[in-house]
């Protein structure tokens, strides 16, 4: 099932990818039949070439190139006279070039011997003196293209040599002219069949070889083109984002992959060989024998396959499709040059040159076809061609497979060059004994005795070097262990080496030094890693997916790559998809999925096959909090018996889901342990917030608390508010402290406990050198080290960088043999019409001048008199203004096309919100509907509806108004309708939507499409529309020139958003934060009154987010409004004045951030982790969790179990059910041992938790109640 299952699925995938590309076969088929219409063209060309050449033949030229045989039965005097006359004219002895004979039979034999054994470039003539009555002579001339004048000169010599004998004049009777074939008598043997052009045309033996040559050139060009656009593009589509390499690492067979490619390629080449054989049969019906046609088919098939094999070899040599295309063009030029040389210049040349050219067998395709059709072969090279082609084909295929294993641009294994002769390639590696190195340090939590090491790294180092810079270590002496049955989170800031580590462990990169093992088998060695492919599942940082494949095809191929059948694995895969919430998308195309859904598919591929180790590089990128929750629950289910290693930028995610955290900074491990160990190591303090009745009570409260509890520290105080800190190491005093605070109830309005999270400390460490962080870890001051660090560096001023002028290359194929085609091109393609005057004008001038200059007697007239008589020149002059007018009209139509916002559409109150309980939403809708285009609004969105490409409703009657100086946020999980709303607001006409989006500009209201075209909307999309080969500064200047923005505005944005070094960084080398800043800067270039910003901080670390947020804050002014779409609650809290929470295209809540917090901040969140070990069964752990949940829910009335996975549980506790906070803390501490709780935290709900509650509960109920009565049509 393994090989054949993979082979069959790959075959289907390749056919699906090629799909419409098969239509390009028609171009090749047209070239294969070109011999039918090329024959007349070649015949005409050969005649024109002979007529138009001005050849001068004198005695010297004649003597150098001619051999004469004379039949002189009684005319020896005439022959001697002819010899004397030639010698007198030429001035040298002509005896060796003139022969006499006295018998017609002997003369014919001598002449034929001269023809077959001729020296290169020599012409043979036969003079029969006295053949006709009255002694008249007959001359037989050999003619060659370019040497036609030698025959008339020979006739002149024969006529002049005639003398008077006995008063009789010996007349010159006639001249016969012929062209010499390689073996003159063989063409008579193949002539037969019907009266086709092959039999009735006397010039067929001469024209046919040139026709084959022209046909072969056309076939080679179209064949290489077809292979490139059809097969090569499909291969690079599979390779582009790393999907194919992921499949190979999951176990996909290299032989199965190439077998599938060659099955399709062989079918195509066999079809082409059959077509070209049919073309010759159609051209000359019954002319060629069946044996000749079979030889032609086999020869063509071998040569076509050889061309295909060479082109496929280029897909291994480079990762870049454009460079591969350049290789194909170079190969094509060389092959076509050899084809021309073989027929035009080397037909009578040295044989050893043709032997040398056998290294490129495809260049001999014309000779092989001619030999197969006629069985005529001038030399041994043609007879060897079949064997040479077959040998080169086999070698090329073998080298392709070999290089696929060796080259970095191949399948990704990068095996050593001698891998085939190494025993490690043929046998599975053995486990190696390893030293039990204890991670004994204050920064490393001690491992438990029952933990089993599954992945171990020791001294891993990865350095990058270039000719311009010194070695830079991305990883430096990385050593740690990853354990079975655990989720280990590798956290660190951008550039800390997380992705490099994941790539080394997965085999995508090789380590510079060090050792990594999986289950005691080294994986840093490429040979052993080759055998361990099924043990590692890998989800790269960027989704390795093919857009044109469906989710089903993508996953089925991944399943088969592991060597398992789809029928057996289908239920497991569907469980994964269902857990991630994308089971309904299984038949969708990848390109129709959202970013979050693509990420889920990548995670699914990594989990397929039950690998022992799962590597997930930033798996939650682009996911909302609900999707993240589903992902973490799935990973906790999956980790039993496996080791899951996750890299992430966000330590709060690691804290919530990981069993163990590894903190990476500067390529080194600074700390490793459980989340609870990290909280102690980072000194994540509890913060007690107190609001006193008056500011005069604050000093008394401080003295009262600090005098009684020495370990309590004042964090801050202002006016009537004060904050105390309690170290996580002293969490046992929380209960006494809260009891003491409760005694001061008369002086206090309210108080609460907030947990200082790991992220609060972690986000401050990026700007601190790793050695300094290491020192603070040892001193125990890491929690205080960066309280006041300035995280945003000063930006330096730099002049804008002018982008280089980029020439626009235009390639036009001119069919000179067909004037009608040129006329059509002129009127159909504006580019062709633009270059036609220069091209046809130069051609007209060249041919005209060549004609008149060859005629020395004629003066050269003024060519302007003939200029407009050339139809192509006349038509191009007419077509240019026509094209210009049509293009202007087309641009006008496009500029005024408003698909999104329809004028005159009646706007009514959306019924979908008739029963909405949110008064803020109802009030906003009434304001917009009742007072349309109000002067207090900068923008109004009225009943905006949108439908996705798959027909699903994306947006349901979105309605709101935006004021000048306001930041309005659209926040919600993936699929909530944020991006469709932003596209409609930004005037994206590709978005299928209905409703009104109007912008007020200079007291005039414009539809969003018109406003966007006129530059009044700055749109920062979710993806970065950048030119990757240009630098940051060049991109910014390019867009500025297109828009027409001054250099001063560009300099201002450069100063605000970029450092000097960043401006010269190429976009393809820039990190995600720099790309997003550049996209935001481009959106601001025209200084528009409305900014639409979609997911500005997705995948960016804390410092990058702060820099972007500060810039957005600085944009807000009295004349500008901003609409922001985001999943990040922290971003909305920092930036937005108001925000609309969305889910499934509906508005769920609408208010300011503070109002939402006050409204929903009525609960405490209790988080617990149960003490457990790997020896405990899943059922036993679940029973303990159920028991604990029952106790908590019984203790606190109205409590809700929010979520749970493995040993973690989270509850929402109403404040009313807690009563005295000190009593609750006492109960928790006293029950800690009894309930076997490892640790717990009790704190106010964070803004993220508030948003989760709103979406999960309010949104769910609202959508369920409205789905049955909601109808959306666009």
Task: Express each pLDDT in 84-132 by its tens digit.
Answer: 777 777 666 767 677 777 777 777 777 766 664 444 457 777 777 766 6
Asked if 836 and 931 sit in the same domain, the reply is no
Asked if 1008 and 1037 sit in the same domain, the reply is yes
Last residue of a domain, one of 1154, 1171, 1200: 1154
Q: How far apart are CA 1087 and CA 175, in angstroms?
A: 88
273, part of any domain: yes
1039, part of any domain: yes
How much of the chain exceeds pLDDT 90, in percent? 22
Query: What would the mean pLDDT of 1186-1197 be, rounded to a whole number?
Result: 89
In 3-state terms, what secondary structure has residue 102? coil
Instruction: Name the token pair of 447.
Output: 């491992």
Last residue of a domain, one of 378, 406, 434: 406
Asked if 1007 and 1096 sit in the same domain, the reply is yes
For the chain, percent helix, then strand, then coil, each to nearest 5?
Answer: 50, 20, 30
776, part of any domain: no
Q: Is 273 exposed, middle or buried (0-12, 13-18, 19+ CB in 10 A)?
A: buried
Instruction: Name the token pair of 359.
Output: 């290294």
- 320 Cβ neighbours under 8 A, 6+ residues apart: none
Instruction: Name the token pair of 570.
Output: 């289908």
Q: How confident is the model at residue 152 (pLDDT cuts 50, 70, 90)?
A: confident
Strand segments (E) across 108-182: 123-128, 137-143, 164-165, 168-169, 172-179
Strand segments (E) across 430-512: 453-464, 472-483, 486-491
Return the higher-pLDDT residue of 290 and 60. 290
625, part of any domain: yes
Last residue of a domain, one of 634, 661, 679: 679
- Nearest 5°: the CA angle 254, 259, 263 is 155
Q: How confident is the model at residue 877 (pLDDT cuts 50, 70, 90)?
A: confident
Asked if 975 and 1043 sit in the same domain, the reply is yes
**Are the C-beta atoms of residues 1008 and 986 closer than 8 Å to each other?**
yes
**Are the C-beta atoms of residues 741 and 751 closer than 8 Å to each other?**
yes
Return the higher-pLDDT residue of 757 and 539. 539
Q: Is the pLDDT of residue 1077 over 70?
A: yes
Q: How far apart are CA 243 and CA 38, in angstroms?
A: 45
Q: How far apart are CA 235 and CA 312, in angstroms?
A: 9
Instruction: Name the token pair of 506.
Output: 């997965």
Q: How far apart are CA 34 and CA 223, in angstroms?
A: 13
Asked if 504 and 617 sit in the same domain, the reply is yes
Strand segments (E) across 606-744: 613-617, 643-648, 660-665, 668-673, 686-692, 712-718, 721-726
* Count of residues making up the chain: 1274
Q: Which domain holds residue 995?
A: 917-1154
Q: How far apart are CA 664 and CA 480, in angstroms?
A: 11
Asked if 849 and 939 sit in the same domain, the reply is no
**Are the C-beta atoms of residues 297 and 273 closer than 8 Å to each other?**
yes
Asked if 351 and 461 sit in the same domain, the reply is no
Q: How far apart are CA 770 and CA 773, in angstroms?
A: 5
- 1192 Cβ neighbours under 8 A, 6+ residues apart: 1166, 1199, 1201, 1211
Q: How far apart are CA 612 and CA 606, in angstroms?
A: 11
Phi, psi at residue 927, to the nearest 5°? -65, -45
Instruction: Name the token pair of 93.
Output: 């002895």
Q: How far apart are CA 1015 and CA 1027, in angstroms?
A: 21
Number of domains in the chain: 7
**Are the C-beta atoms of residues 643 and 537 closer than 8 Å to each other?**
no
pLDDT of residue 183: 37
CA atoms within 13 A on the CB side of 544: 25
1261, part of any domain: no
Q: Is the pLDDT of residue 551 over 70?
A: yes
In 3-state terms, what secondary structure has residue 89? helix
- Picking from 445, 515, 516, the residue whose alpha carbon sits closest to that of residue 486 is 445
The enclosing domain of 728 has a CATH number of 3.30.70.1650
- 564 Cβ neighbours under 8 A, 6+ residues apart: 609
Whether the full predicted model's pTM is greater than 0.75, yes or no, is: no
Task: Express each pLDDT in 359-402 by its tens digit.
Answer: 888 888 888 888 888 776 555 666 677 888 889 999 999 999 99
- Average pLDDT of the chain, as a whole number: 78
- Kindly compute the dihedral angle of the four CA atoms of residues 878, 883, 889, 890, in this order, to the nearest 10 degrees: 160
Q: How confident is the model at residue 1183 (pLDDT cuts 50, 70, 90)?
A: confident
- Picking from 398, 253, 391, 248, the residue whose alpha carbon sits closest to that of residue 312 is 398
pLDDT of residue 801: 33
Asked if 1007 and 976 sit in the same domain, the reply is yes
Q: How far apart are CA 159 and CA 154, in angstroms?
A: 9
Instruction: List C-alpha distances in Å: 629 to 625, 632, 644.
Output: 6, 5, 16
- How many beta carbons lie within 10 A of that of residue 112, not counting itself? 15
Q: How far apart are CA 1246 and CA 1202, in angstroms?
A: 14
Write the Ramachandran bin of 995: left for phi over 0, alpha for psi from -120 to 50, otherwise beta. left
Q: Is the pLDDT of residue 49 over 80?
A: no
762, part of any domain: no
Asked if 652 and 689 sit in the same domain, the reply is no
**Are the C-beta atoms of residues 764 and 756 closer than 8 Å to each other?**
no
Beta bridge partners of 139: 127, 175
**Are the C-beta atoms of residues 1213 and 1202 closer than 8 Å to each other?**
no
pLDDT of residue 1106: 81
In 3-state terms, what secondary structure has residue 518? strand
Asked if 462 and 539 sit in the same domain, the reply is yes
Instruction: Name the token pair of 816.
Output: 């000179």
Task: Express each pLDDT in 878-919 by its tens digit.
Answer: 888 888 888 888 877 766 654 444 443 444 445 667 667 778
Beta bridge partners of 1169: 1208, 1239
Q: Is the pLDDT of residue 557 over 70?
A: yes
Q: How far apart are CA 963 and CA 15, in angstroms?
A: 54
Q: How confident is the model at residue 1033 (pLDDT cuts 50, 70, 90)?
A: very high
Task: Tally DSSP H helices, then E strands, for the chain.
Answer: 50, 35
Q: Is 1058 exposed, middle or buried (0-12, 13-18, 19+ CB in 10 A)?
A: buried
701, part of any domain: yes
**Are the C-beta atoms of residues 937 and 1000 closer than 8 Å to each other?**
yes
How much of the chain exceeds pLDDT 70, in percent? 76
Q: Is the pLDDT of residue 165 over 50?
A: no
Instruction: Please report the sign of the dihedral spanned by the C-alpha atoms of residue 723, residue 724, residue 726, residue 727.
Output: positive
Instruction: Please report the sign of the dihedral spanned by the C-alpha atoms of residue 1077, residue 1080, residue 1085, residue 1088.
Output: negative
- Eight-class DSSP state of 91: S
Lowest mean pLDDT among 559-573, 932-946, 955-969, 1239-1253: 1239-1253
Return the higher-pLDDT residue of 548 and 1169. 548
Asked if 979 and 1059 sit in the same domain, the reply is yes
The enclosing domain of 534 has a CATH number of 3.40.50.300
Strand segments (E) across 519-667: 521-522, 536-539, 613-617, 643-648, 660-665
1260, part of any domain: no
- How many beta carbons lie within 10 A of that of residue 398, not counting itself? 11
- 380 Cβ neighbours under 8 A, 6+ residues apart: 351
pLDDT of residue 135: 63
What's the distance, CA 1086 to chain centroid? 31
Q: How far apart are CA 946 and CA 1069, in angstroms?
A: 36
Asked if 477 and 595 sit in the same domain, the reply is yes
CA atoms within 13 A on the CB side of 669: 25
Q: How confident is the model at residue 1111 (pLDDT cuts 50, 70, 90)?
A: confident
């Amino acid at each position: 099932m393994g090989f054949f299952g993979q082979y069959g699925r790959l075959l289907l995938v390749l056919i699906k990818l090629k799909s419409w590309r098969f239509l390009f076969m028609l171009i090749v088929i047209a070239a294969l039949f070109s011999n039918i219409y090329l024959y007349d063209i070649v015949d005409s060309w050969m005649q024109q070439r002979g007529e138009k050449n001005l050849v001068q033949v004198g005695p010297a030229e004649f003597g150098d190139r001619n051999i004469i045989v004379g039949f002189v039965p009684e005319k020896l005097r005439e022959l001697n006279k002819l010899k004397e006359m030639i010698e007198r004219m030429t001035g040298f002895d002509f005896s060796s070039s003139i022969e006499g004979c006295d018998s017609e039979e002997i003369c014919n034999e001598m002449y034929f011997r001269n023809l077959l054994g001729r020296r290169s470039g020599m012409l043979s003539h036969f003079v029969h003196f006295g053949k006709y009555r009255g002694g008249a002579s007959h001359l037989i001339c050999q003619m060659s293209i370019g040497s036609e004048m030698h025959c008339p000169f020979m006739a002149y010599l024969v006529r002049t040599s005639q003398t008077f004998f006995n008063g009789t004049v010996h007349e010159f009777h006639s001249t016969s002219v012929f062209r010499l074939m390689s073996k003159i008598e063989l063409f008579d043997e193949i002539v037969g069949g019907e009266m086709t052009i092959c039999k009735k045309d006397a010039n067929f033996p001469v024209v046919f070889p040139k026709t084959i040559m022209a046909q072969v050139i056309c076939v080679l060009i179209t064949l290489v083109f077809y292979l490139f656009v059809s097969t090569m593009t499909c291969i690079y589509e599979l390779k582009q984002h790393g999907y194919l390499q992921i499949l190979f690492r999951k176990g996909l067979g290299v032989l199965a992959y190439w077998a599938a490619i060659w099955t399709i390629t062989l079918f195509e080449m066999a079809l082409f060989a059959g077509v070209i054989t049919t073309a010759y049969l159609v051209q000359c019906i019954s002319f060629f024998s069946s044996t000749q046609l079979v030889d032609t088919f086999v020869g063509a098939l071998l040569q076509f396959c050889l061309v295909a094999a060479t082109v496929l070899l280029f897909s291994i040599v480079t990762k870049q499709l454009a460079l591969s295309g350049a290789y194909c063009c170079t190969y094509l030029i060389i092959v076509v040059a050899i084809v021309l040389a073989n027929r035009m210049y080397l037909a009578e040349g040295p044989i050893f040159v043709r032997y040398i050219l056998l290294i490129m067998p495809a260049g001999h395709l014309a000779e092989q076809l001619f030999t197969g059709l006629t069985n005529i072969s001038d030399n041994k090279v043609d007879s060897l061609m079949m064997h040479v082609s077959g040998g080169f084909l086999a070698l090329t295929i073998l080298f392709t497979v070999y290089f696929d294993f060796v080259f970095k641009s191949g399948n990704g294994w990068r095996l050593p060059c001698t891998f085939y002769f190494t025993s490690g390639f043929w046998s599975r590696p053995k486990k190696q004994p390893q030293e039990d190195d204890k991670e004994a340090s204050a920064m490393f939590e001690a491992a438990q005795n029952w933990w089993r090491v599954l992945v171990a790294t020791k001294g891993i180092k990865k350095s990058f070097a270039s000719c311009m810079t010194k070695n830079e270590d991305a990883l430096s002496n990385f050593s740690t262990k990853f354990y079975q049955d655990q989720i280990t989170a590798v956290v660190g800031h951008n550039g800390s080496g997380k992705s490099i580590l994941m790539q080394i462990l997965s085999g995508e990169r090789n380590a510079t030094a060090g050792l990594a093992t999986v289950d005691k088998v080294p994986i840093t060695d490429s040979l052993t890693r080759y055998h361990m492919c099924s043990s590692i599942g890998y989800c790269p940082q960027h989704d390795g997916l093919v857009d044109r494949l469906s989710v089903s095809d993508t996953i089925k191929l991944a399943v088969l790559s592991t060597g398992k059948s789809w029928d057996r694995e289908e239920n497991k895969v569907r469980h994964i998809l269902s857990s991630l919430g994308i089971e309904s998308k299984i038949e969708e195309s990848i390109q129709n999925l959202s970013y979050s859904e693509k990420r889920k598919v990548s995670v699914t591929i990594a989990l397929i096959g039950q690998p022992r180790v799962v590597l997930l590089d930033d798996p939650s990128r682009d996911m909302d909090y609900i999707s993240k929750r589903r992902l973490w629950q799935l990973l906790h289910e999956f980790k039993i018996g496996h080791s899951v290693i996750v890299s992430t930028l966000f330590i709060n995610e690691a804290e919530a889901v990981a069993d163990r955290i590894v903190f990476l900074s500067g390529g080194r491990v600074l700390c490793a342990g459980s989340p609870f160990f990290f909280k102690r190591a980072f000194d994540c303090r509890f913060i007690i917030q107190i609001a006193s009745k008056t500011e005069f009570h604050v000093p008394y409260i401080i003295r009262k608390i600090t005098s009684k509890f020495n370990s309590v520290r004042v964090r801050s105080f202002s006016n009537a508010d004060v904050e105390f800190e309690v170290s996580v190491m002293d969490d046992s005093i929380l209960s006494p402290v809260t009891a003491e605070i409760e005694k001061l109830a008369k002086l206090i309005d309210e108080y609460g406990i907030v947990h200082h999270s790991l992220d609060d400390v972690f986000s401050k460490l990026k700007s601190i050198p790793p050695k300094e962080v290491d020192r603070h870890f040892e001193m125990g001051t890491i929690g205080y080290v960066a309280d006041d660090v300035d995280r945003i560096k000063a930006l330096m001023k730099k002049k804008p960088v002018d982008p280089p002028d980029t020439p626009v290359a235009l390639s036009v194929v001119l069919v000179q043999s067909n004037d009608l085609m040129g006329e059509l091109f002129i009127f159909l393609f504006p580019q062709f019409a633009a270059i036609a005057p220069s091209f046809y004008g130069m051609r007209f001038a060249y041919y005209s001048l060549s004609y008149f200059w060859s005629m020395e007697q004629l003066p050269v007239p003024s060519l302007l008199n003939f200029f407009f008589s050339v139809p192509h020149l006349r038509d191009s002059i007419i077509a240019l203004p026509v094209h210009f007018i049509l293009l202007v009209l087309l641009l006008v139509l496009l500029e005024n096309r408003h698909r999104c916002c329809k004028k005159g559409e009646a706007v009514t109150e959306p019924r979908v919100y008739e029963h909405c309980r949110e008064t803020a939403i109802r009030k906003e809708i009434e304001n917009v509907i009742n007072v349309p285009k109000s002067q207090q609004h900068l923008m109004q969105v009225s009943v905006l509806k949108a439908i996705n490409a798959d027909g699903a409703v994306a947006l349901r009657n979105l309605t709101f108004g935006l004021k000048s100086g306001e930041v309005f946020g659209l926040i919600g999980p993936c699929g909530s309708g944020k991006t469709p709303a932003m596209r409609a607001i930004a005037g994206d006409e590709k978005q299928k939507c209905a409703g009104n989006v109007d912008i007020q500009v200079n007291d005039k209201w414009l539809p969003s499409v018109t406003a966007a075209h006129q530059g009044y909307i700055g749109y920062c999309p979710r993806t970065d529309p950048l030119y990757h080969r240009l630098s940051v500064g060049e991109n910014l200047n390019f867009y500025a020139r297109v828009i027409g923005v001054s250099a001063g505005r560009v300099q201002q944005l450069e100063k605000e958003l970029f450092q000097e070094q960043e401006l010269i960084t190429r976009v393809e080398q820039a990190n995600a934060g720099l790309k997003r800043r550049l996209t935001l800067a481009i959106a601001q270039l025209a200084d528009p009154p409305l900014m639409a910003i979609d997911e500005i901080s997705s995948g960016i670390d804390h410092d990058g987010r702060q820099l972007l947020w500060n810039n957005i804050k600085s944009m807000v002014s009295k004349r500008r409004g901003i609409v922001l779409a985001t999943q990040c609650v922290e971003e909305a809290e920092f930036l937005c004045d108001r925000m609309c929470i969305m889910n499934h295209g509906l508005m769920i809540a609408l208010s300011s951030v503070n109002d939402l917090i006050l409204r929903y901040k009525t609960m405490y969140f209790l988080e617990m982790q149960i003490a457990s070990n790997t020896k405990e069964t899943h059922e036993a752990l679940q029973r303990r969790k159920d028991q604990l949940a029952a106790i908590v829910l019984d203790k606190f009335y109205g409590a809700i179990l929010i979520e749970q996975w493995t040993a973690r549980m989270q509850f929402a506790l109403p404040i009313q059910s807690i009563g005295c906070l000190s009593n609750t803390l006492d109960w928790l501490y006293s029950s800690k041992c009894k309930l076997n709780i490892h640790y717990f935290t009790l704190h106010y709900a964070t803004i993220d938790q508030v948003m989760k509650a709103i979406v999960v509960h309010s949104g769910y109920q609202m959508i369920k109640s409205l789905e049955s009565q909601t109808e959306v049509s666009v």
